[in-house]
Amino acid sequence: MSEIDVDDAVDPIALFRLWMKDADEREINDPNAVALATATREGVPSVRMVLMKRLDTQGFCFYTNAESQKGTELAENLKAAMCFHWKSLRRQVRVVGSVVQLPPEDADEYFHSRSRLSQLGAAASQQSRVVASREVLVSRVKELEREFPGEIPRPDYWRGYVLRPEQIEFWKDGEGRLHDRFLFTRVGDGWSKERLFP
């Protein structure tokens, strides 16, 4: 598939890769930014932006603090959803599936590929918890900087996750709200495809 053609696409992962490549070239900031929706065991939802760091045979990979709100919710309820929105391209992709943790070695590799300050920030932050002031956070970063002048160990709570897609929907803007929507649903090792009303 050399052209971005939703009508003829049969493989949603290949199509997503083409749309992502287009976004990488044309979207101004963070084309890999995605809204990640999680929910508690009782089904109370929450959503926030994260960065998708990799798409592989398992699915859509991201990293976060396992003790954060999203990490806690993922421990209770493995179902999650993502929505990529490339406003300047007038496209979006929605993904629904189950989330599993990536191996610790994967988290180690990505953690140590980040800038030193990003590693310190991740180690210092008790994400989603109340902090008295910004100074408390900055002070904690400085403490860790002194404690670890060399390599910063990845905190055990900083982990990688992958959303394994069960459904992927592609939306393309159309004139007069006659948008194109195609829903791919996993069936065994393949995908079924349906066109949806906009």
- Identify the active-site residue in 114, 164, 177, 186: 177
Q: Is 26 a catalytic residue?
A: no
Whole-angstrom Cα distance, residue 168 to residue 190? 12
- Residues with active-site annotation: 177
